[in-house]
Structure 1
Amino acid sequence: MNLFAEIRSLVIDSLQQMQAQGDLPDGLSFDAVTVEPPRDAAHGDMATNAAMVLAKPSSCKPRDIAQRLATLLSAGPRLASVEVAGPGFLNLRLASTLWADVLRAILADPAGYGRATVGAGIKVNVEYVSANPTGPLHVGHTRGAVFGDALASMLDFAGYDVTREYYINDGGAQVDVLARSVYLRYLEAHGQEVAFEDGTYPGDYLIAVGQALKEKVGDSYLGKGEQFWLEDVREFSTLAMMELIREDLLALGVKMDVFYSEKSLYGTGLIEAAIEDLKSKGLIYQGVLEPPKGKKPEDWEPREQTLFRSTDHGDDVDRPVQKSDGSWTYFAPDIAYHYDKVQRGFDQLIDVFGADHGGYVKRMKAAVSALSYDKTSLDIKLTQLVKLFKNGAPFKMSKRAGTFVTLRDLVDQVGADATRFVMLTRKNDAPLDFDFDKVMEQTKENPVFYVQYAHARICSVMRKAQLAGVAVEDAVLQAADLAGLTDAAELTLAAKLAEFPRLIEIAARSNEPHRIAFYLYDLASEFHALWNKGNEQPELRFLQEGNLATSQAKIALIRATAVVISNGLGILGVQPAQEMR
């Protein structure tokens, strides 16, 4: 049940009736007509902009449209009042029976409440994390992992056909550096002293990999040049690192559907096929790029290269795909990878990158636009940096990585639930401060505690109700007489529950899972406010001794609240707490 969508349908029906009566011209588009919560709750339960957005195309005064629309809407049983405000906005107050309908809809299908159909089976590929397989995931990867995973779950909840994908960057020189680093640990496992130079990775996490390599090959690589062992050690090391990364992701509750190897693009004809596809569309040519804007690098010289005419698809400059020596640029395999996604039949692509990939957005969107004839959309979400704080100061901890804080360090410190929720308390493109002290607090300032505490409190009431002999099964509560829920705090909580399906649709259309975290915090606030009000007014307490019907009505309200909290946390990958310890 999406109450906002239902009331919008009433508005559209009334507008069509106005057309039939000659009050509005035919041929108007109602796409811009919205029904949403008012900015000020004192103005009503919902508001519509219908008169404002239709005034210009209909050549009518907005207040004239609003007054006629108000008359038609007021005639129906679902709206208690309709008021014209300002230049032509309409404030709507719903009939009190509708809040009971919302609660019954939640209790009738707890797992399904809030699920949307906006996805309509559209195939979406969400690529996230995609870290170089050269070490454990760090805090920056953690934010991308949480954001991408919550986004994928939210889209699935909204009816999309979602594939979670990790792109393994195992085709570049950094994996050779990894292999050399593991070889040093291999030598160390044989008792030799080593020095980590030339950018090799000194982290302790490679000690076990070096030991495992020794156990596999014995001393067969000792004293040998890298031409004898580099390729084998590269493959061995990459597999070991990907196993480590998989374990880190599982510790965070992240499971991928696909791990796609960059290396698989080479020698298989995929890069050549992608470039040939662009060439067939007249988008590949030989040319010389202008020097970079600003100070020209000392080693810059004009060279003819194979270029992609990306400016035809919204980019600022054309991009090289093949160097003058015939080797591919870094951009070429990325084009091929997205070409493969298009060929796999995805309707929408979403890439989750770190903030340092900002300059990559336009060129990649241009490539997907060209490869798919604009039929496949690409949304690139950039996640900003995470700063760690403890005791009011920047905090650095590193057990084994050498130079950075790992995902596993974070999860071990505060748990997966807190890590995930806090990572979603800011929009992805805003910097995030992760304060260990606040995350461990049991106060309103700790958002994950505050939301889980609401769910735990409800579970506590449900247990007490059962001990008191009150039936609290969903079917029983659904049939309860809910007419007694009349206090403003009770109706405010019910109204907040009604917003959930609308929120899911908005968040899914904009690819913004942080909206769910914000909503859950607000919902928890409304619940805690009702709880506190009941401490002062006994008639608002959820268990009314000697009054079974009233108790069941109030428990129906909070059970519905627990359902929505659980569904929302489920999307975020956070467990709803049954009790607080």
Structure 2
Amino acid sequence: MSLYARFAAAIDVVLDTLEAEGALPAGLNRASIAVEPPRDASHGDLATNAAMVLAKPAKTNPRALAALIQPKLAEMPGVTAVEIAGPGFLNLRLDPEQWRDEMRTIFAEGADYGRSTQGNAVRVNVEYVSANPTGPMHMGHCRGAVVGDALASLLEYAGHPVTREYYVNDAGSQVETLGRSAHLRYREALGETVTIPEGLYPGDYLKPVGAMLAAEYGDRYVGAAEAEWLPLFRARTVAAMMDMIRADLALLGIKHDVFSSEAKVQSDGKVVAAIDKLRADGLIYEGVLEAPKGEAADDWEPVEMTLFRATKFGDDSDRPVRKADGAYTYFGNDLAYHAQKAETADLLVDIWGADHGGTVKRVQAAVQALTAGRVPLDIKLVQMVRLLRDGEPVKMSKRSGSFVTLADVVEEVGRDVVRFTMLTRRADAQMDFDFAKVVEASKENPVFYVQYAHARIRSLGRKAVEAGIDVTAPADLRKLDAEELALVRLPAQFPRIIEAAAATREPHRVAFYLADLAGAFHALWNRGNDDPERRFLLVNDTETTLARLSLANAVGQIVRNGLAVMGVAAAEEMH
């Protein structure tokens, strides 16, 4: 158990005691009680808001309640002082041995340090990427792919069973267009000179598909009617595109557990079933929507459609699930797909591009209606990445065929750089991906700075062995000075960071934390630049070297654990 978890449990015992003594009412909600580092390190080692949280429901003053808690906390093993601060916060000062014990816990738990049971086995379905199967992955897809994959790993690390899902949009006009585009490449492969008309996909990535179809079918479908070949060419081309997409995602280390087909959702009757269920609940009706705001009356024609009462669940208007011609809307398909996911999950998380923000409320409303509120839907919007080269934006257009593929970028800068960079900002914040800056060897580049910290620690171990030091010998951690021991406070926060990031479903918090940890480690390392006696490796002082090496190894373990959650390999050396 980590230090913060241990003291949180101990504070719970103190509150139980106060309840038993009648000083605190029983049954108060303690969910908001936190144990965390004080904002100002000079105020102590740990702080708790227990008195602030419980005072109002206990009908007492926070400082008065803090005064009851204070002496009991002071009796806890490892606590040297407890102070009441401000309106009722409690600051704890710990015996230094508590931090040395935490280092031992890090070594004992290794790759599992920070792993949590917070998820309480709540099943989560994370759907991400879900790009239309009309071509290879490009950088417009990259950020959502990395955020979704890192979030899935984070939730697993925090104790959730996770299903990684990809929704294949293999129904609708875009795949019809794809099939027609492949037919042209098929004819080209048979020797015909073709011109790609406006509206079809012109990219060279369809040439191998055309060659495959030509080898398999010969000229059978060259002059055939479209109705004969389109269903076949559509299906075969979608399958080929999905193979390409899987291969592109594999370059980033991304794999999905489930690939769900939009066409299959329809053919299995899931859309009809979902709408029938909503109708039985009085949430479907035939009606006419109001004219869109700002649209001239003569530009709008009232049409009766099948509507879902989305306004009952907080949406701005009711939403059509079936058009006047009987075809289901994309929303109608989408609500059925989410109902399907909810059959095997307790929580749904969708990673969407920010351009889909306008549909968030309606889909959340549908999921709430279809599951009677049992399965929440959290939608994370991810802003696009602006790709820069030599300071100039790189244009991307799937239809023109002149886009920059994800494979191109991974080949140039490496998988780990791409993954880490995608997590260096909040998902909903704009991002520039500058080819020069992401590989820059400077502390302004968090990718480099974190990797350099780990490589430095590994190099330290190798140099210690070369100097004849037995690095397997036990270390006397009392040899660490106050500044060195203070560094342990950051690694000790890793379990808290994991739980907070998982609770908010924000994997970028792990990247931010690792950057702070790397910065603190480099700062401690740099002491030796001015004073040789403060270097980590002292050939003539084995005991101090072993203690400092242990400190470095504790930091290295946390860096590895955090990078593993992000899907990034820790660098063993830097070139």
> When the two structures are superposed, what TM-score results if normalisation uses the length of structure 1?
0.95
> 1:29-108, aligned counterparts within 5 Å?
29-108=29-108
1:136 aligns with 2:131: no
Deviations 1:98-147 (A, max 9, x none): 11111111111211111000112221111000000001112121000000
Sort the Cα spacing of 1:556 and 1:54 in 2 relative to 1 into closer, same or farther, 3 A: same
Q: Greater shift after overlay, 235-244 or 10-19?
A: 10-19
Deviations 1:517-538 (A, max 9, x none): 0001111011111110133333
Alignment match, 2:367: 368
1:185 aligns with 2:179: no
Sort the Cα spacing of 1:290 and 1:513 in 2 relative to 1 into closer, same or farther, 3 A: same
Q: Which amino acid aligns with 1:376?
A: V
Alignment match, 2:534: 540
Write the distance in 2 (CA, Å) between the matches of 1:17 and 1:496: 31
Write the distance in 2 (CA, Å) between the matches of 1:57 and 1:337: 43
Write the distance in 1 (CA, Å) between the matches of 2:485 and 2:70: 23
Q: Contact 2:201/2:399 (CA < 8 Å) preserved in 1?
A: no
Please state how far the C-alpha of 1:267 moved relative to its aligned partner. Answer: 2.4
Q: Contact 2:176/2:234 (CA < 8 Å) preserved in 1?
A: yes
Q: Which runs of 5+ in 2 are unaligned?
A: none
Q: Contact 1:398/1:409 (CA < 8 Å) preserved in 2?
A: no
Provide the secondary structure at the position in 2 that maps to 1:109: helix
Deviations 1:43-95 (A, max 9, x none): 22222222222332223222222233222212223222222222222222222
Q: Contact 1:149/1:254 (CA < 8 Å) preserved in 2?
A: yes
Q: Which amino acid aligns with 2:463?
A: K
Please state how far the C-alpha of 1:547 moved relative to its aligned partner. Answer: 3.3
Q: Contact 1:387/1:434 (CA < 8 Å) preserved in 2?
A: yes
1:252 aligns with 2:247: no
Provide the secondary structure at the position in 1 that maps to 2:30: coil
Write the distance in 1 (CA, Å) between the matches of 2:78 and 2:88: 21
Please state how far the C-alpha of 1:464 moved relative to its aligned partner. Answer: 1.6
Please state how far the C-alpha of 1:337 moved relative to its aligned partner. Answer: 1.0
Alignment match, 2:224: 224
Sort the Cα spacing of 1:304 and 1:400 in 2 relative to 1 into closer, same or farther, 3 A: closer
Alignment match, 1:112: 112
Sort the Cα spacing of 1:144 and 1:465 in 2 relative to 1 into closer, same or farther, 3 A: same
Q: Contact 1:205/1:400 (CA < 8 Å) preserved in 2?
A: no
Write the distance in 1 (CA, Å) between the matches of 2:486 and 2:355: 43
Match of 2:508 among 497, 514, 520: 514
Overall identity of the aligned pairs, in %: 55
Alignment match, 2:10: 10
Alignment match, 2:377: 378
Write the distance in 2 (CA, Å) between the matches of 1:336 and 1:61: 52
Write the distance in 2 (CA, Å) between the matches of 1:236 and 1:431: 37
Write the distance in 2 (CA, Å) between the matches of 1:231 and 1:400: 22
Provide the secondary structure at the position in 1 that maps to 2:488: helix
Alignment match, 1:567: 561
Q: Greater shift after overlay, 119-128 or 72-81?
A: 72-81
Provide the secondary structure at the position in 1 that maps to 2:480: coil
1:243 aligns with 2:238: no
Q: Contact 2:135/2:398 (CA < 8 Å) preserved in 1?
A: no
Q: Contact 1:128/1:148 (CA < 8 Å) preserved in 2?
A: yes
Match of 2:479 among 484, 490, 499: 484
Q: Greater shift after overlay, 223-232 or 134-143?
A: 223-232
Q: Which runs of 5+ in 1 are unaligned?
A: none
Alignment match, 1:416: 415
Sort the Cα spacing of 1:317 and 1:393 in 2 relative to 1 into closer, same or farther, 3 A: same
Sort the Cα spacing of 1:171 and 1:339 in 2 relative to 1 into closer, same or farther, 3 A: same
Q: Contact 2:186/2:210 (CA < 8 Å) preserved in 1?
A: yes
Please state how far the C-alpha of 1:421 moved relative to its aligned partner. Answer: 0.4
Deviations 1:206-258 (A, max 9, x none): 12222222122111121223122111110111111111101100011101111
How many residues are treated as equivalent by the alignment? 575
Q: Which amino acid aligns with 1:430?
A: A
Provide the secondary structure at the position in 1 that maps to 2:191: coil
Alignment match, 1:461: 460
Write the distance in 1 (CA, Å) between the matches of 2:276 and 2:188: 47
> When the two structures are superposed, what TM-score results if normalisation uses the length of structure 2?
0.96
Please state how far the C-alpha of 1:16 moved relative to its aligned partner. Answer: 3.2
Q: Which amino acid aligns with 1:274?
A: A
Write the distance in 1 (CA, Å) between the matches of 2:26 and 2:533: 53
Provide the secondary structure at the position in 2 that maps to 1:483: helix
Write the distance in 1 (CA, Å) between the matches of 2:77 and 2:118: 28
Q: Contact 2:289/2:302 (CA < 8 Å) preserved in 1?
A: yes
> 1:420-435, aligned counterparts within 5 Å?
420-435=419-434
Q: Contact 1:2/1:502 (CA < 8 Å) preserved in 2?
A: no
Write the distance in 2 (CA, Å) between the matches of 1:106 and 1:5: 14
Q: Contact 2:185/2:209 (CA < 8 Å) preserved in 1?
A: yes
Please state how far the C-alpha of 1:404 moved relative to its aligned partner. Answer: 2.6
Please state how far the C-alpha of 1:294 moved relative to its aligned partner. Answer: 2.3
Q: Contact 2:124/2:347 (CA < 8 Å) preserved in 1?
A: yes
Write the distance in 2 (CA, Å) between the matches of 1:298 and 1:134: 37
Write the distance in 1 (CA, Å) between the matches of 2:366 and 2:156: 26
Q: Contact 1:397/1:404 (CA < 8 Å) preserved in 2?
A: yes
Please state how far the C-alpha of 1:319 moved relative to its aligned partner. Answer: 1.3
Please state how far the C-alpha of 1:541 moved relative to its aligned partner. Answer: 2.4
Q: Contact 1:52/1:62 (CA < 8 Å) preserved in 2?
A: yes
Write the distance in 1 (CA, Å) between the matches of 2:297 and 2:422: 39
